[in-house]
Amino acid sequence: MTERSLSTSIVKNKSDIRTLIFVFGIGLLRILFWWYAVPLYWLVLPLSVTMVFILFTIKHNHIHVPVFTSKTLNSIYDYVLDILTGNTVHDAYIIHIANHHKETNKHRDWGNTEKFANNKGAFALLRYAVTTPREFLKGKRLWMKEPGNQHIGKKNIRANIILWSIYVLAGIIDFKATLLFIIIPNLLAQFVLVTFNYFQHAGCNPETRYNHSRNFTGSVINFLTFNNGFHIAHHHYPSAHWSQFDAIHLKLLPKIDPGLNEPHFLKYFFRILFERNKKIVDHQGI
């Protein structure tokens, strides 16, 4: 079957063939790391955390634009991503789409960075990373209790039962390997994911139309995160496929404050550790 026919009959967009290759490769490596309890753990751990973080970005894109044309295949893919990342697609939907896209770093956004605006960079980042997961958990629980959301809540409970049943089974087979190569990388990757949200919104102005987020435009980070660096484009066109974000970014570029386009993620990371955040104002007033 050719790439074109595969994209037509199975996946919605042929760009997701690369997504599936990443999922398969990372999934295989994670199983091998666990099964063989590979040595040199402290060298393998950063790689494992990076791989899970990449899977989180893939999951993010999937909840916006499902990969497959078949609902059954999408459901199976949901469970695969659940198991490989340690939390469910439904969790991601509730926190990201139901809350974050609706509020976009405003007061009612569970991941709002504004409450740390008066802290120095490294201290603000640490406080945000430590306290925000608790806010996600509290907000998610309240959201699932609302009458109109209980059906998703029930699906989430079932997905978590399946997820943790598999993890318990893995722990019975080899508890130490499960802890070292599954649980710890998953938790650390979630920590990285939370801090990445901080980088994308801290110091931006949530009340503006185009300057509520920060872009990371480097080719390496966007290759590894499937264009999740073009965050303003994503917020404006959340139903667009990830492969379109770079083109959308170019169209929006004249409306975005230049200070919100970071070409080098690592340079920004080290800079923010030592600088106080400065809110971006929308010079266009819209």
Q: Which of 5-9, 56-60, 115-119, 208-212 has the lowest mean pLDDT?
A: 5-9
**pLDDT band for position 216 (cuts 50, 70, 90):** very high
Token output for 218: 């480097």
pLDDT at 285: 37
pLDDT at 273: 77
Please tell me the distance from the alpha carbon of residue 216 to that of residue 225, in angstroms, as a whole number.
Answer: 11
pLDDT at 283: 39
On whether the CB atoms of residues 197 and 111 are closer than 8 A, the answer is: yes
| pLDDT of 286 higher than 50 | no
Q: Could you please report the per-residue DSSP string of the chain?
A: --HHHHHHHTBSSTTHHHHHHHHHHHHHHHHHHHHHT-S-HHHHHHHHHHHHHHHHHHHHHHHHS-SBSSHHHHHHHHHHHHHHHSS-HHHHIIIIIIIIHHHTTSTT-TT--GGGTTSBHHHHHHHHHHHHHHHHHHHHHHHHHSGGGHHHHHHHHHHHHHHHHHHHHHHHH-HHHHIIIIIHHHHHHHHHHHHHHHHHHTTS-TTSSS-SS-EE--HHHHHHTTTTT-HHHHHH-TTS-GGGHHHHHHHHGGGS-GGGEES-HHHHHHHHTTSB--PPP-TT--
% residues pLDDT > 90 (the chain):
80
| pLDDT of 224 higher than 60 | yes
Q: Domain limits of the chain?
A: 3-204
pLDDT at 41: 94
| pLDDT of 5 higher than 80 | no
Please tell me the distance from the alpha carbon of residue 243 to that of residue 272, in angstroms, as a whole number.
Answer: 28
**pLDDT band for position 117 (cuts 50, 70, 90):** low
Length of the chain: 286
Please tell me the distance from the alpha carbon of residue 195 to that of residue 159, in angstroms, as a whole number.
Answer: 25
Q: What is the pTM of this model?
A: 0.91
Token output for 244: 């379109």
Q: Which residues pair with 262 in a beta bridge?
A: 216
